[in-house]
Amino acid sequence: MSTSSYPSEYAFAFSRRYRVAALPFGVTARTSGVRLDPDGLHVRFGPWRLHSELENLRSVSLTGDFSFARAAGPPRFLTGDRGVAFTPNGDAAVRVRFRASVPCLDPTGLVWPLRHTAAVLGVADVADFLGRADELGLAVE
């Protein structure tokens, strides 16, 4: 039994405009979610998946204020740090940085051998996510 004061499951916060833009890609509230627990980080965003062991999570920080054109729709490749963004709104989100990069946009590596150094997650409760990260011993910046 967990004694955590924070949840381990987090829903994405879909705004109406972003929800419509994500729908053609199979990204909905029912097909998306985040789990952060002692086993690591597990992200589902429509057909896309990302997983990282807890030991591979370097830090977690607050981010946000995304433009619709740069954030709506499917996960986005972040050119600045080779990260991946799961942003169903333009508001606050959390950025998780990895020690070793992880696959997501092309999990097979056959089409585009790309691995990601960070993930931006537009979860509904960023404060609880940051609290859970701290509780699990992650560096919260």
Question: Contact, 49 vs 123, CB < 8 A?
Answer: no
Phi and psi at residue 127, to the nearest 5°: -65, -45
Spatial contact of 11 and 28, defined as CB atoms under 8 Å apart:
no
User: CA 67, CA 91: separation in Å to the nearest integer?
Assistant: 9
Q: Letter for the amino acid at 119?
A: A
Q: What is the pLDDT of residues 87-98, one digit of tens each?
A: 999 999 999 999
Query: With a threshold of 0.85, does the pTM exceed it?
Result: yes
Write out 8-58 in H/E/C secondary structure.
Answer: CEECECCCHHHHHHHHHHCCCCCCEEEEEECCEEEEEECCEEEEECHHHEE
pLDDT, tens digit (0-9, with 9 covering 90-100), for 8-22: 999 999 999 999 999
